[in-house]
């Protein structure tokens, strides 16, 4: 089968295409592309196929009905484009054009090799806050829903005012327009549908290191004890063995302290938290905004509410409301291979019930009894206040079974 050609094309259409590429298009029997790309060739005499949300059927057609084919895509087809998908499915040669990212940074007079790039094209904005927090330069590929005003509104919601924004519209085309904005200005402005947003950090934002002090979290008043204490939180999250793309469940999240720290570690993954108490849900939402952690928070009761979550790499169980055994049964069934379950227990009865249930599912169990005391001044002297002892139960699937 003859190798198909995938050609990147800019906003100026034919104008910037090398003559050889135009010759390939003229000599082809079939031209494939989005409506905008095909509109650059109104006089094309062969068969045309419009790409919509039909990539699998498109591949089937191209493979089963061999013709001399040229496929058109925007900019660099391998940069968040269809090229990476098509190249895995059929014989294809890729000929890129300049990407919107390259254009944008060239117009700004900035290097782009050190930029963090994220695509919101056809994707959700969920998790963007922790992914970009602290980055110097961020390039965002947009769509009609996730447009510059929506992005500005989202960032303002998380207090990320240390960034200024550059928006490039129709880059490389006749109607090209490039502007800088504050986030407040970008939220109120209007833009052409073809655009890219680049964020550039102008000042230092608030930085939260792993092991956030308990007092920094919004908590119930006067019941300030309803939080996983910093020392226990650090040990529990360490036991979860999180990586950058971990999918994490936090069951009984309360103030959200564990979920927030997990989200900052698993920036490219996802965190799903559930809490039955409506007041705690509202407190957790305030903490999410303060600490720039955008995860999925559900008001509900486990284990029923867990059905809507994807299978996890790690599970933290902080509260169960008397449903510990049922929750463990679901968690052991849903946890991915080599995943971890960590449970905090304050009573020996909970410790016994948890370890028994985990071992029923052939999980290897480790238990750490954590007992901490914090210093407290008394006149010019120092004494120690003891925290409640807590059992940190770590479980993993016994691979030998």
- The parent domain of residue 170 ranges over 101-201
In this structure, the dihedral spanned by the alpha carbons of residues 93, 95, 100 and 104, taken in order and rounded to 10 degrees, is 140
Residues 89 and 153 in one domain: no
Residue with tokens 């290097």: 111
**Percent of the chain clearing pLDDT 90 (strictly above):** 88
At 248, which CATH number?
Answer: 3.40.50.150
Classified as helix, coil or strand, 83 is helix
Interhelix angle 230-240/257-265, rounded to 10 degrees, is: 40
> Can you count the helices (H) and strands (E) in the chain?
13, 19
Strands 163-169 and 116-119: unpaired
Shared domain for 52 and 186, answered yes or no, is no
Helical axes 324-334 vs 348-360, angle rounded to 10°: 40
- Whether residue 401 is predicted with pLDDT greater than 60 in this model: the reply is no
pLDDT reading at 198 higher than 60: yes
Distance (Å, whole) CA 164 – CA 181: 6
Domain's final residue, options 177, 201, 225: 201
Q: Which of 98, 125, 151 is the last residue of a domain?
A: 98
Number of domains in the chain: 3
pLDDT bracket for residue 11 (50, 70, 90):
confident
Q: What are phi and psi of 376, to 5 degrees?
A: -145, 130
Total count of residues recorded for the chain: 401
Dihedral angle over CA of 111, 114, 120, 126, nearest 10: -140
Percentage of residues in the chain with pLDDT exceeding 70? Answer: 98
- Whose structure tokens read 């294809």? 92
Q: Is residue 118 part of a domain?
A: yes
Closest CA to 41 of 17, 76, 61: 17
Q: Please indicate, yes or no, whether residues 85 and 111 belong to a single structural domain of this protein.
A: no
HSE toward the beta carbon, residue 79, CA cutoff 13 A: 19
**Rounded to an integer, what distance in angstroms lies between the CA atom of residue 159 and that of residue 288?**
11
Q: Render 66-86 in DSSP notation, one character per residue.
A: ---EEEEEES-TTSSSTHHHH
State mean pLDDT over 303-307: 95
Average pLDDT rounded to a whole number, residues 173-180: 94
């Amino acid at each position: 089968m003859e190798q198909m050609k995938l050609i990147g094309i800019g906003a100026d259409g034919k104008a910037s295409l090398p003559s050889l590429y135009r010759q390939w298009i003229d000599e082809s029997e079939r031209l494939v592309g989005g409506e905008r790309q095909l509109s650059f060739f109104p006089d094309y005499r062969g068969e045309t196929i419009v790409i919509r949300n039909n990539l699998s059927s498109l591949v089937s057609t191209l493979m089963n009905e061999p013709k001399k084919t040229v496929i058109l895509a925007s900019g660099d087809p391998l940069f968040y484009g269809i090229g990476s998908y098509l190249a895995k499915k059929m014989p294809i040669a890729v000929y890129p054009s300049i990407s919107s990212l390259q254009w944008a940074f060239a117009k700004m007079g900035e290097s782009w090799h050190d930029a963090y790039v994220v695509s919101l094209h056809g994707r959700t904005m969920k998790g963007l806050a922790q992914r970009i927090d602290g980055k110097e330069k961020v390039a965002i590929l947009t769509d009609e829903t996730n447009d510059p005003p929506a992005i500005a509104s989202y960032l303002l919601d998380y207090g990320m005012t240390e960034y200024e924004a550059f928006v490039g519209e129709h880059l490389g085309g006749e109607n090209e327009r490039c502007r800088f904005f504050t986030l407040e200005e970008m939220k109120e402005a209007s833009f052409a549908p073809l655009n890219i947003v680049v964020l550039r950090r102008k000042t230092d934002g608030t930085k939260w290191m792993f092991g956030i002090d308990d007092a920094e979290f919004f908590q119930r008043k006067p019941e300030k004890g309803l939080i996983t204490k910093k020392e226990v939180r650090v040990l529990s999250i360490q036991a979860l063995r999180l990586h950058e793309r971990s999918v994490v469940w936090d069951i009984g999240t309360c103030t959200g302290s564990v979920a927030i720290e997990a989200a900052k570690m698993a920036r490219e993954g996802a965190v799903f938290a559930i809490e039955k108490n409506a007041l705690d849900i509202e407190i957790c939402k305030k903490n999410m905004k303060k600490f720039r952690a955008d995860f999925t928070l559900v008001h509900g009761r486990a284990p029923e509410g867990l059905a809507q979550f994807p299978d996890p790499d790690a599970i933290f169980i902080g509260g169960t409301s008397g449903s510990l055994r049922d929750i463990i049964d679901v968690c052991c069934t849903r946890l991915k291979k080599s995943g971890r379950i960590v449970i905090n227990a304050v009573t020996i009865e909970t410790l016994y019930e948890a370890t028994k249930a985990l071992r029923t599912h052939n999980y290897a169990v480790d238990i750490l009894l954590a007992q901490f005391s914090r210093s407290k001044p008394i006149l010019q002297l120092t004494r120690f206040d003891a925290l409640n002892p807590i059992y940190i139960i770590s479980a993993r699937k016994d691979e030998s079974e």
